[in-house]
Amino acid sequence: MAGDWAVLHSRKLYEGRILNLRLDEVRLPSGRLAVREIVEHRPAVAMLPVADDGSVLLIRQYRDAIRQEILEIPAGILNPGESPREAARRELQEEIGFDAKQLEEWGTFFTSPGFSDEQVTLFCASGLVESRLDPDEDEFIRILAVPREEIPVLLDSGRIRDAKTLAALAWYLAKK
Amino acid sequence: MAGDWAVLHSRKLYEGRILNLRLDEVRLPSGRLAVREIVEHRPAVAMLPVADDGSVLLIRQYRDAIRQEILEIPAGILNPGESPREAARRELQEEIGFDAKQLEEWGTFFTSPGFSDEQVTLFCASGLVESRLDPDEDEFIRILAVPREEIPVLLDSGRIRDAKTLAALAWYLAKK
């Protein structure tokens, strides 16, 4: 019941390169006052790359936030002025060295709406053709191809530990 | 290539109730120095509640981070000392008024490993029996039951805008 909520005061504690930290003092429908810690984050795209034989391409990279390597679908933050579709094509070429003849938009979702406004627009990329853009020098990526029939076992193995990748792979199976 | 990464300096800018903000100065494999903005977040659980007829229960609630209402599966942050399974049972009773005879752990994933270490452990909750705990007074929730056969249309409609909910619903379809 959004109408009963009121943001009484909002304060930026940090304004950074990819995110800001904001403290909201809110009045809840109960009348109680509370503080909410909110991370404002630049929007992002993620792409499920599907090869002509139905296998999908995953990447393995180190992530400082979790201090470990993780398997993910390609993804990245929108540059200023860039549309999600433009960002998707750029990131595919930078991260896996392919352009996509078809880029089907599956949806846009919040990664963790309890504390952050980060949104990811998910595309299914098919008709892959080699086309490499210079990778971001911050990114050190290895590519893994997974046949479609192996995805159910991969999901149940616990090896997919990234929410957007889990959503994309399960959705890919559910769609057909 | 985690071995080639080095965190040179790490500084907490904010330590809060559910999250901390940390700046890491890192040396990348290329030798370049870079700064990473990292949000440390308390771990969470999410539960896909499945009724005896196969329909799933979603909740609609207002989220200050995105300043709008959103459809989600029940979820919440672990209390100190609480296991994911204990938190799952508590949150189910607080948020939808049911305990679950079966609580099957499907996996644990990071919600957005590019900037945050937040982890969610996902359970499938079935054998639902009425059992209400006092709801958190911060939470104002409405419940929606979705028959299993309507989930594919719901996914494609764009109305599911939360990553963990998308993952849980698609995985539910893919599993059977």
ipTM of the complex: 0.94
Among A17-26, A114-123, B4-13, B103-112, the range scoring the smallest mean pLDDT is: B4-13
Task: Report the alpha-carbon distance of residue B114 to residue B7 in Å, rounded.
Answer: 16
A118 touches chain B (CB under 8 A): yes
The answer to whether residue A2 scores a pLDDT higher than 60 is: no
Selected catalytic residue, list B82, B137, B139, B149: B137
| Residue A130 distance to chain B (closest CA, Å) | 24
CB contact under 8 A, A39 and B62: no
Q: Which of B34, B66, B155 sits opposite A138 (nearest CB)?
A: B34
Confidence of residue A135 (pLDDT cuts 50, 70, 90): low
Q: Does B137 participate in catalysis according to the annotation?
A: yes
Q: Which pLDDT value is given to residue B2? A: 47
Pick among B7, B112, B124 to test the A interface (most A CBs inside 10 A): B112
Q: Which pLDDT value is given to residue B141? A: 82
User: To 5 degrees, how large is the angle CA B99–CA B41–CA A58?
Assistant: 90
More confident of the two residues B164 and B2: B164
CB contact under 8 A, A19 and B37: yes
Contacts of B114 in chain A (CB under 8 A): 44, 63, 65, 75, 77
B44 touches chain A (CB under 8 A): yes
> Which long-range contacts (C-beta less than 8 Å, at least 24 apart) are formed by B52-56?
B52/B126, B52/B127, B52/B128, B53/B147, B54/B147, B54/B148, B55/B145, B55/B146, B55/B147, B55/B148, B56/B145, B56/B146, B56/B148, B56/B151, B56/B169, B56/B172
Angle between helices A163-175 and B163-175 (to 10 degrees): 40
* Residue whose C-alpha is closest to residue B18's, from B113, B131, B116, B129: B116
Q: Which pLDDT value is given to residue A150? A: 98
- B42-175: CATH topology is Nucleoside Triphosphate Pyrophosphohydrolase (3.90.79)
Domain boundaries of chain B, sorted by first residue? 2-40, 42-175
Dump pLDDT digits (tens) for B59-117.
999 999 999 999 999 999 999 999 999 999 999 999 999 999 999 999 999 999 999 99
Tell me the average pLDDT of chain B: 94
A66 touches chain B (CB under 8 A): yes
| Residue B161 distance to chain A (closest CA, Å) | 4
